[in-house]
Structure formats: C-alpha cells, structure tokens
Amino acid sequence: MQMLSISVRQAAPNDLLAVSDILDEAASWLKQQNMTLWEKEEVSPEAIRQDVEAGLFYMAFVEDEPAGAVKFQLEDLMFWPDIPQEDSAFIHRLAVRRCFAGSNVSTELMKWAVKQSQDLDKSFLRLDCAADRLRLRRFYENFGFRHHSDRQVGPYFVARYEYKV
C-alpha cells in the first residue's frame, strides 16, 4: 500500500457532521463485529456538538477527504481520577473511516497527539480502551503505549495506557 499524505487539523464547528459521521461509521462497524463501543446517540451531532465547538476534536484528512477523528483533552477525571491531571494529555474516540482501515491514519493521529502533548510540555499521553479489545490493545502497545492499569468505570472495564512523551 502506498503511503498516504495525511494532515491533521482541529475540527471547526462546520466539521460537526463530518466528525459525527466518522464516529458513527466506526460505531456501526464495531457493532456489526459484536464489539459495541458507542451507541448511535452517543456520537450524534447533538451529543458531540459541545466538544467540537470547544475545540476538542481533531480530524485527519487524506488529501481533502475526512479520514479519521480523535478527541484530545487536557483533563480526564472520569477514566483517570487517581492521577495528577496537569502532566498528561488524553485521547478518546479515535476513529478511522472504513475506507481508510489498514492505512496509517490512526497512527498519524496518535503521532500528532504525541507531538501536541510535547508542544504542551506534558509528560504523558494517556488513553483507555475496553480491556477485552485485544487487537486494539496490541495496536497501542506496538505504537509504544505501556499498560498502566485496568479500571472499572461505571459499566466499562477498561485497560489504561500511557505513552511517555
């Protein structure tokens, strides 16, 4: 597969539908694989509007086509309440459109998040995922994330990972 030219930029309010579509497509595919992650209403434009307008979502583009999205935040008291927040950045909702699956879109989004964390002088980039998603966990580990701990968060049992920036 040829290397794609991928750029990442902050999602603007007028990107709301594109971000929602990327997340919804990923959620639908996961549901078909019996790995439900997000329900349709959790990734609807109404559900993510506040985060998009707050500048928390970033999008990957291949040429000018929206290919992926990630939420980048500087605080995560829900999944990481037991650590000092100021030395970390956190990513959530990393999703890639199916037509770009197997390309390096997700890797480029994570590289971007690492660089963003460095630019903000953070010590760690942290994320969590469903503990039973072994392929996804292997992907994060191959990128360089280290397993930190497992945690029950409401109905979710998650594996928490950190990347030393």
Burial class (CB in 10 A: 0-12, 13-18, 19+), 85: middle
Does residue 19 lie within any of the structural domains? yes
Does residue 122 lie within any of the structural domains? yes
Does residue 160 lie within any of the structural domains? yes
DSSP-assigned beta bridge partners for residue 89: 125
The answer to whether residues 91 and 127 touch, using CB atoms and an 8 Å cutoff, is: yes
Does residue 128 lie within any of the structural domains? yes
SS3 string of 124-136?
Answer: EEEEEEECCCHHH
Residue 88 lies in domain: 6-164
Tokens of 115: 């660089």
The answer to whether residues 102 and 1 touch, using CB atoms and an 8 Å cutoff, is: yes
Does residue 1 lie within any of the structural domains? no
Return the SS3 of 84.
coil
Note the pLDDT of residue 65.
Answer: 94
- The enclosing domain of 59 has a CATH number of 3.40.630.30
Q: Could you tell me the pTM of the whole model?
A: 0.93
Does residue 33 lie within any of the structural domains? yes
Averaged pLDDT in 10-residue chunks for the chain of 165 residues: 80 97 92 78 93 98 95 97 97 95 92 98 97 93 98 93 98
Q: What is the pLDDT of residues 69-94, one digit of tens each?
A: 999 999 999 999 999 999 999 999 99
Does residue 78 lie within any of the structural domains? yes
- The tally of domains found in the chain comes to 1
Question: Which secondary structure element, helix H or strand E, spans residue 43, and what is its range?
Answer: none
Does residue 138 lie within any of the structural domains? yes
Note the pLDDT of residue 77.
Answer: 96
For helices 16-32 and 45-53, the axis angle rounded to 10 degrees is 130
Note the pLDDT of residue 36.
Answer: 65
